[in-house]
Amino acid sequence: MRLVLALIILGACILAAGCWRIYSNTWDEPEHLAAGVELLDRGIYEYDTEHPPLGRVFMAIGPYLAGARSFDTPGPEGTREGEDILYSGANYERYLTLARLGMLPFLVLLLFVTWLWARAMFASQGTALLAVLLLASVPPILGNAALASLDVAAAATMLLAFYTLQRWIVSASYKDAVYFGLATGVAVATKFSAVPFVGLALPILALLRLSVASGAAATPARFASPPRTWLAGLALAVAAGLLPILLAYGPRADTLAGVAHRFDWAVAYLLQERGFDHQLGVLLSHVWLPRPFKDLVNGIVAVKAHNDAGHLSFLLGKTSRTGWWYFYLVALAVKTPLPLLVAGVAGLAGLARQGFRDRALWQLTPAVLVITVLVFASTFSRINIGIRHVLIVYPFLALGAAWSMARAWEALAALRAPRLALACKTGLLALLAWQMSTLVTAYPDYLPYFNETVAHPERVLVDSDLDWGQDLRRLEWRAAQLKIPHLSLAYRGTALLSKEPLPPFTNLPPNQPTTGWVAISALARTRNPHDYAWTLAYPPVERIGKTIDLYYIAKIAGSDFGGQ
């Protein structure tokens, strides 16, 4: 079974790596790389501090060892620095590939912890392997794992934090409390979304444990730990959690002025708020904190400020800066393969029912955590720019789907009508084959994958769910094949177009009809639907990848304007 598990994980890594040669750098990759290289090269961390350093260091190790160095571009925005690093010395392919390679260990971790969770839930190793296989066949997981981005890393480390939290909740042992603290510290040092997700999971799972204990006919010995045991365990967890954060933020050059400036900004931002935020600002203004924790506070407050301000988002043909409460529900409905979606939701409900009946915490927890994550994201998140922010839901959907499929197979084996049982088993295998077929039919476009319910993805979601700038390389290849002499281009991304092997091109302004070869990306269209509405009068020559429409316009409709 371990060999099979290793083969599934290896296969997932190979499929993710297969996307590298296709995808141009996506929107966030240069800035992530810049922050990691800056830390390794100069010992400072000043680019886009609303993300912690751990994952960025992983993606920067390969490029740094290959010769990438910081250009010391002024911050706080690091995209230009990342572009300079990527395009320096004709090393674009090399540095980008090495940066993406640094994220594959987190895909391995995500799949392995799913296996650990499944083994704690299921008696059958086969069912546990099925859960890992189902997770490895989720295109948004593989697509994001193919990038030098933090989202799969965040999902992997948060899943580990949830797993160790569950172990501690069940065992009440000091050793598991330490493991939980260490895992949570790693998750926080990877992405700050771990703060609310794990922070909410702790009291909710503790209350769930109390509910299970109080509802049992006779309280088992494992539920009978005194309060002081839990308080001591929590203290150990907090202390252990500080260690990864100190390691991530600690080994740095002294930049006291920059640290003080960022921390003072964070305190001032909290003080202008009301209620708890204001009181926290007052407290922080009167206490001394070591430098790593000042950076940590700044990062978390920076994320809060970003969320408070909102982010330009697109959903179902509309744009908004404050998002929609149903954004992630829609994203899950259209970005999840249908077999996993149906079997996963049914399985989570079935597991919760079984767990409630049997007073089994491991069976109850997946549904509770999924609800917790989605309720928080739907209620508080105003940054609605991709399903990548809730990838942590997928391991639990895979656990639910594996359970429901295994239960269905057992029920069919017990049928006394052999023909009916055979027909139903064939249908169940066909459902699994449908799920696995997405690995072939979607390859290499795992990132912009949408399930069969969506005929026109660009009308539903765009941004990192469809167009993150990844198809520029394909446009370059096709332009070379067609020998395009000049291109009018509307592209949104962070590739440095002046250093890309494009034909001679002009940036196409909004509301400026033109003739000749024209390429418009899906993300460019959604910033303002009227910007390039004039192209709707012309059929595109073809779609490049999944996101760029290529036109040849000989004459502007309704005018005598022609030529380039």
pLDDT digits (tens, 9 = 90+) for 506-548: 999 999 999 999 999 999 998 888 899 999 889 999 999 999 9
* pLDDT mean over 227-256: 87
DSSP state of 442: S
d(Cα 534, Cα 121) in Å, to the nearest integer? 56
* pLDDT mean over 65-93: 93
In sequence order, what are the beta bridge partners of 52?
none
Q: What is the mean pLDDT of the chain?
A: 92
User: Which pTM value belongs to this model?
Assistant: 0.94
Whole-angstrom CA distances from 326 to 193, 291, 366, 375, 555 are: 19, 39, 21, 10, 43
Helix (H, G, I), strand (E, B) or coil at 518: strand
* Spatial CA neighbour of 54 closest among 262, 245, 237, 242: 245
CB 160 within 8 A of CB 180: no
CB 519 within 8 A of CB 548: yes
Window from 70-84, 215-229, 329-343 with minimum mean pLDDT: 215-229
Name the phi and psi angles at 324, rounded to 5: -135, 140
Burial of 384 (0-12, 13-18, 19+ CB in 10 A): buried
CB atoms inside a 10 Å sphere around CB 80: 18
Whether pLDDT at 319 is above 60? yes
CB atoms inside a 10 Å sphere around CB 276: 9
pLDDT digits (tens, 9 = 90+) for 60-75: 999 999 999 999 898 8
The domain locations on the chain are 471-553
* pLDDT mean over 85-111: 96
Whether pLDDT at 234 is above 50? yes
Question: CA torsion sign, 225 to 227 to 231 to 232?
Answer: negative
With bands split at pLDDT 50, 70 and 90, how would you rate the model's confidence at 318? very high
- The Cβ-side half-sphere exposure at 123, using a 13 Å CA radius, reads 1
* pLDDT mean over 296-311: 92
